[in-house]
Structure 1
Amino acid sequence: MTSTEIPSGFHKAIRWYPPAYDIRVDEVPVPRIQHPDDVIVKVKLAALCGSDLHIYRGHGGINSVHVCGHEFIGEVVALGESYGSDAQGRPALYSSLKVGDKVVSPFTVNCGECHVCRLGYTGRCLDGGLFGSPALDGGQAQYVRVPKAGGTLFNLSNPSTWSSALPEETKKNALLNIADSSLLMLADILPTGVFAALQAINHPKVAPVITGKPWPHCFSKDDVLGNEVSFTESDRILTVAVIGLGPVGVCATVSMLDVLATRKIPFQLVAIDPVESRREKMKAVYNTIDVEGKGTGDFAVLAIDEAKAKIGEWTAGVGATAVLEVVGNTSAINLAYEVVRAFGVIVSVGVHGEPPLPMSGRQLYNKNISLDFGRCPSRAMFPPAFDLLVKRQDVFGGIGEPASLVDRIVDFSQAADIYRAFEKNQIGKVIFDPWK
């Protein structure tokens, strides 16, 4: 094992106690290397995420005390025996990662070597695990153990170990100049937002609008229209709804706007949330984005009933082609079903609890809709998320401004109050500094 000096005693950690709404800051043993593939990270910053609220509210089916949090950035302070220059045939970090390197972690452990990881579905690695659960202590602590770290972490000190569509010099300069509070978004919320947008824009149900050719000729390279009636200009307008404007919903909306603007796709996009403060945040974010990043489509931020009316107005009652559901509850899914068109797609990246889905098979059949559910493979989504982070520093770079995704950076002593305020929608994205 290679390491710097790690305290041999205890460190501070934010822990959840069952059954619900009980957050405490405890002194717990400093984590140690347990497996040759482990790495110990000294946490510089850790974030509070909407997904943490499921456990906080007692809805996660969990009854064990554990360290919270799955978003963290920090410095490598100890390496297991697997790390070294002779680590052949394994992910690059097993050969190159060093003590002192700055790293950001996806919210799940990913081995990077199994069939599932090789396909890019890293969020469901068979050897994986979720930080901030009874099975794996989270990052809202001064130190955290990262299993399978060679396939999990991203080395921000050595950007040659991961890909980017940006020029190499741009990539290096970005890592020198972007704040850690911004880079921390690469742990979960920004990759998840990009994931939702890319799932929708690349879905087969969206292909006729994108290609201008009806089903099934939208999948053919031939110029045959396959229909005696040509597409009208309005048939080429993609109508999208984003349900939920918490931090991930904002990221999903910004990601979708970027995709539409980059591909020059005509669009109508409505961002929906019943909470006024979240709508105001989304409006401020949109107003901050430059003209190039907004595209040329129509954009609206509305409460639920107004959004339903707007979608009906835009589409003559047909409905949205794609709906991004970023909440993770039955009411949001019901709304998604209500506003999606026949032959539309619902992309759900919100963390759903135990209640069953509210739609019947008959309802799904009657609309020919597709449901795309589940966890973001955040490690696989890191490269495009990083590129968007660099492009949109106007939104993702600040703290505490009307258009900033991050509202505050606080110390651990405020943890219980911050969890309580976040749960009541009284504050947005908050980052903890374990060393304040």
Structure 2
Amino acid sequence: MAETMKAAVLKAPHHVEVEEVPIPVISAPTDILLRVERTAICGTDLHPYEGRLELESDIILGHEFLGTIEAVGAAVTHFAEGDRAVASCVVNCGSCYQCRRHQPGNCAGGRIFGLGLALGDLAGGQAEYIIVPNADITARAVPNGGQASDDDILFAGDIMTTGYEAVARAMRPGDSVAVVGAGPVGLCAAMAAVALGAGQVIVVDRVKDRLKEAERYGAIGVDAAENDATDAVLDLTDWRGADLVVDAVGHESALVSAISMVRAGGTLSIPGVYTEESLTLPFSELYLKGVKVEMGVSHITEYMDEVIALMGAGKISPSGIISHRMGLSEAAEAYRIFEAREATKIVLDPRS
């Protein structure tokens, strides 16, 4: 009989159960088996949880995780048993046209942990163990020494690198940067903009605690519940608009607001996830302003090394956004409070 482990399993929308499932085994020579030491709930996990992304039942959720390697496939060259590693949330082939063009987020064979058959049929990391395919490309070693904690490095696999890329691919030092949404990715984008030398960083949200967190990182907080956010951004940028605006929400209303905040000739960067087939947008405004738009699945493995290096140097530290630590056994309650926006970021301990 196969050994079993605990895992957070999506049974139906708004229905997560922690079940005993078989411990996975290495099936390809490029795999590693990771014993998960900490894992997080991401905003992307809410898409299947809320039913906006239809998945088959019994999917193990989660794509942010860190742990110790229990076994390695015969073709793995960068890792050995006992090494500690963090994995990109997206698994890429590393050899196709897109990957060779340094755009792994567009890899035709790209897969995402914990999002079902449509996105690669990979079990997620909200479990005691996980298989990481193509490990030499997908994973990075947890560094020894430096100023980064394990909680910081955990977020190199998704939200910190996603926020960093949203800024790094479009910002020049001295630019004014506006971030719409002070959720985890928005806060990470604000951190990255400060670290990369933005002249000013403005963060827009309706949750005061999140705005206070953004201000702690050096940003100017704008409470959209009390102010006209577009006017506030324009006022702070001498009525030009921001050089770069980041939509870190992934909702049509946020995107429309972001468009109104960007200057003529500026850039709109969209790390927020959209699953809608169509949106109603002020396209003429985009056209007349000549706005450049950057968007799509993040190229995580292209930026992870930069992010981990900046973490080690103490330039960025996303662990401060963790609001709750819970046991994996509490996954159902964790999803409830995360969906209710009662938590900014939840880290789960698979051992409890």
TM-score, normalised relative to structure 2: 0.91
Q: Deviations over 1:243-294 (max 9, x none)?
A: 1111111110011011116xxxxx23310011222112222333xxxxxxxx
Q: Deviations over 1:60-94 (max 9, x none)?
A: 13343300000111111122232xxxxxxxxxxx3
The 10-residue stretch of structure 1 (245-254 or 385-394) with the greater mean CA deviation from structure 2: 385-394
Task: Provide the rounded CA distance (Å) in 2 between the counterparts of 1:275 and 1:141.
Answer: 31
Letter in 2 for 1:120: H
Equivalent of 1:408, from 302, 324, 334? 324
**1:238 paired residue number:** 175
- 8 A Cα contact 2:90 2:110, kept in partner: yes
Q: Identity of counterpart residues, as a percentage?
A: 32
Equivalent residue for 1:251? 188
Greater per-residue strand proportion? 2
Residue range with higher mean Cα deviation, 271-280 or 100-109: 271-280
User: What is the TM-score when the length of structure 1 is the normalising length?
Assistant: 0.74
Let me know the Cα RMSD of the aligned residues: 2.1
Bigger CA radius of gyration: 1
Partner of 1:67 in structure 2? 60
1:432 aligned onto 2:352? no
Residue 215 of structure 2 corresponds to residue 283 of structure 1: yes
The residue type paired with residue 73 of structure 2 is G
Query: How do residues 290-329 of structure 1 correspond to structure 2 at under 5 angstroms?
Result: 299-304=219-224, 305-329=227-251
Structure 1, unaligned stretches of length 5 or more? 1-6, 83-93, 160-171, 203-209, 211-236, 262-266, 287-298, 398-403
Q: 1:126 to 1:431 in 2, by over 3 A?
A: same
Residue 58 of structure 1 and its aligned partner are, at CA, apart by: 0.8
SS at match of 2:311: helix
Change (3 A) 1:95 1:394: closer
- Choose the corresponding residue for 2:333, options 396, 413, 417: 417
Match for residue 71 of structure 2? 78
Pairing 1:142-181 to 2, within 5 Å after superposition: 142-156=128-142, 172-174=144-146, 178-181=148-151
Matched, 1:26 2:28: no
CA contact (8 A) 2:34 2:70 kept: yes
Please, which of 50, 73, 79 is the counterpart of residue 57 of structure 1? Answer: 50
Equivalent residue number for residue 108 of structure 1: 90
Aligned residues: 346
Measured in 2, the distance between the counterparts of 1:8 and 1:395 equals 40
Residue from 232, 246, 254 that aligns with 1:332: 254
Which residue identity lines up with residue 202 of structure 2 in the other structure?
V
Which of the numbers 72, 84, 103 marks the counterpart of 1:121?
Answer: 103
Aligned equivalent of 2:40: 47
Aligned residue identity for 1:44: E
CA 1:336/1:99 → structure 2, altered by over 3 Å: closer, same or farther? same
Q: Residues 346 and 96 of structure 1: is their aligned pair in 2 closer, same or farther, counting only changes over 3 Å? A: closer
Query: Residue 393 of structure 1: CA displacement?
Result: 6.9
1:114-162 CA-to-partner distances (Å, cap 9, x unmatched) read: 3322332222333321001111111000011112122211123xx6xxx
